A and B are shown apart, each in its own frame.
Chain A
Amino acid sequence: MSEPFLIGDCMTGGYGKGPDILHDCTIAVEKGEIAVIVGPNGAGKSTAMKAVFGMLDVRQGAVRLDGKDITKLSPQDRVLQGMGFVPQTHNIFASMTVEENLEMGAYIRTDDFSQTMEQVYDLFPILREKRNQAAGELSGGQRQQVAVGRALMTKPTVLMLDEPTAGVSPIVMDELFDRIIEVARTGISILMVEQNARQALEIADKGYVLVQGANAYTGTGKELLADAEVRKSFLGG
């Protein structure tokens, strides 16, 4: 079997000089698929994702994108390699307009990005409507759309989302998940951390349950949802 498009392979590491948070943790996503990281609080979900994006030291193991070793690259360089990252908080330029947010997302591009912007507006029509409004004035769900849109402006091959539905209503959450599926259908791989484990696993091609920085269960979204042990421990029965 060929290697997945993006893989954080047997990663061990932590922040700065601190103790290891991840222990031999493996996260991977195939082209155009959705992989979801779930797990209890403090399991290292976000940390695992940040490790894949190069925001902490991976002391052992490796991160490979499309077969290329990117373990030593800085987050900025990984953006250039085609990775897009949406942080959990502070993921928009609140004082700037929606359109300016998208422009800043495309900052590293020297070509004409107006077409990408149109695609983002097609994906999130509400943003087209509010393009000249300050992003900080939008609702929680709309801000998340701005955040995802900003990350899409570099035309990434992988999009990483850290709890995209944190703090939004269930209706908005469903809507966001629909959009994320749409993004995946365009061939972009999606790796996301989710608090709402059940809903996230429903749309996931692959699910990773982390416990204390290590892989506890791995399988397709359906398998994990059907797994009695996973249901009992993490999905509330």
Chain B
Amino acid sequence: MMDILNALVVLANFVMIPAVAYGSQLALGALGVTLVYGVLRFSNFAHGDTMAFGTMVVILVTWWFQSMGISFGPLPTALLALPFGIAATAVLVIGSDRMVYRFYRQTKSEPVVFLIVSLGVMFVLNGLVRFIIGPNDQSFSDGERFIIKVGDFKKMTGLDEGLAIKTTQGITVVTAIVVVAALFWFLNKTRTGKSMRAFSDNEDLALLSGINPERVVFYTWLIVAALATIAGTLYGLDKSFKPFVYFQLLLPIFAAAIVGGLGNPLGAIAGGFVIAFSEVTITYAWKKVITYVVPETWAPDGLVQLLSTEYKFAVSFMILVIVLLIKPTGLFKGKSL
């Protein structure tokens, strides 16, 4: 009995909790991608670097706050800096829309042209972020490190195995729930949100109904900026901030959005968790868990790790390929909001 409990604790500590936190971050990222796809009808390859830009601003403001001695008690100061990051990112994406994307919208370009254009924007952002904050790792998490510490958990339960929940993991999940609830409320209950869904569903009829496309586009970018900054900041708090890592995040984020069905917000969330859980379970060394569960003589000698963690991106790729082969529209029907 104790063994089973220990196994569960190990599983929770090394698989469930990290995967839930990572999944929330991916879900927020995928929501941004899926909104752009649904409303503006292209795959925004600049999303990863938009996240990096937003996070960078949050970090800079956090440092500034720290230098002035402002803190958020046990919570990371970065949360206080979030609104600044969102505002700066909103200016950035709406600016890039005015300067770049709007031209292609007016000339009614093909989605693939938009995709390439977003690649260009991605490179510009890439350089911009590295120019301002540099290519190196930045750690900006402060406040209380843990909600539950390993030692305390052991004392509390008397188990051999410990369980830790980092503050950043808790914050990630709570923030993700709040943000997603707010987003769905906005899309389903407000006039502007509904007009965004209508525009995504049937552009011509939306125009006939008097919905102003530029207004819809403006609100979409605003929401995307908020989602990207929040997702990036949560990821950075939980792990660390490195521009290249954010660029790499593009793959699992797109995989999540496509698995769920591009353009479907509910799908983006489900996809985020599918990708996160697959990545964590496939790259996790199961030896400890299995040793607890099976009789002593069956205990494995190896690590029982399907893929080493360096290959975690291969997991997203595999899922992406499988989904595209078997169910190209994703788990939920994609293509409209």
Contacts and interface: CB of A to CB of B under 8 A. Distances in A.
Our verdict on whether A and B bind, yes or no, reads: yes
Given A90-B202, A90-B204, A91-B205, A96 B210 contact: no
A92 B205 contact: yes
B204 A93 contact: no
Given A104-B194, A104-B195, A107-B195, A96 B208 contact: no
B210 A79 contact: yes
Instruction: Please classify the interface of chain B as helix (H, G, I), strand (E, B), loop, or mixed, using the class held by over half of its residues.
Output: helix
A150 B197 contact: no
Given A90-B205, A92-B202, A93-B201, A76 B210 contact: yes
A213 interface: no
B209 interface: yes
B205 A95 contact: no
A94 B207 contact: no
Nearest to B204: A90
Contacts of A150: 205, 209
Contact of A79 (B202, B204, B208, B337): B208
A80 B210 contact: yes
A85 to B, nearest CB: 6
A154 B208 CA distance: 11
Interface residues of B, number: 17
Given A100-B194, A107-B195, A95 B210 contact: no
Contacts of A9: none
Interface string A143-155: 0000000100010
A87 interface: yes
A221 interface: no
Given A94-B336, A95-B336, A87 B194 contact: no
Given A87-B204, A90-B202, A90-B204, A96 B209 contact: no
Interface residues of A, number: 21
Contacts of B209: 79, 104-105, 107-108, 150
B176 interface: no
B211 interface: yes
A154 B204 CA distance: 17
B149 to A, nearest CB: 47
B208 A94 contact: no
A75 interface: yes
Given A100-B194, A103-B194, A104-B195, A95 B201 contact: yes
B211 A107 contact: yes
B198 interface: yes
Contact of A75 (B194, B197, B201, B208): B208
Given A95-B337, A96-B198, A103-B194, A108 B204 contact: no
Contacts of A80: 210
Nearest to B263: A95
Contact of A107 (B197, B204, B210): B210
Interface string A32-61: 000000000000000000000000000000
Contacts of B210: 76, 79-80, 107-108, 154
Closest 3 CB pairs of A and B: A108-B210, A93-B201, A95-B336
Given A75-B208, A107-B198, 18 more contacts: A75-B207, A76-B207, A79-B208, A79-B209, A87-B208, A90-B205, A91-B205, A92-B202, A93-B198, A93-B202, A93-B205, A95-B201, A100-B194, A100-B198, A103-B191, A104-B195, A107-B195, A108-B210
29 contacts: A75-B207, A75-B208, A76-B207, A79-B209, A79-B210, A80-B210, A90-B202, A90-B204, A90-B205, A92-B202, A92-B205, A93-B198, A93-B205, A95-B197, A95-B336, A96-B198, A103-B194, A104-B195, A104-B198, A104-B206, A104-B209, A104-B211, A105-B209, A107-B195, A107-B198, A107-B209, A107-B211, A150-B209, A154-B210
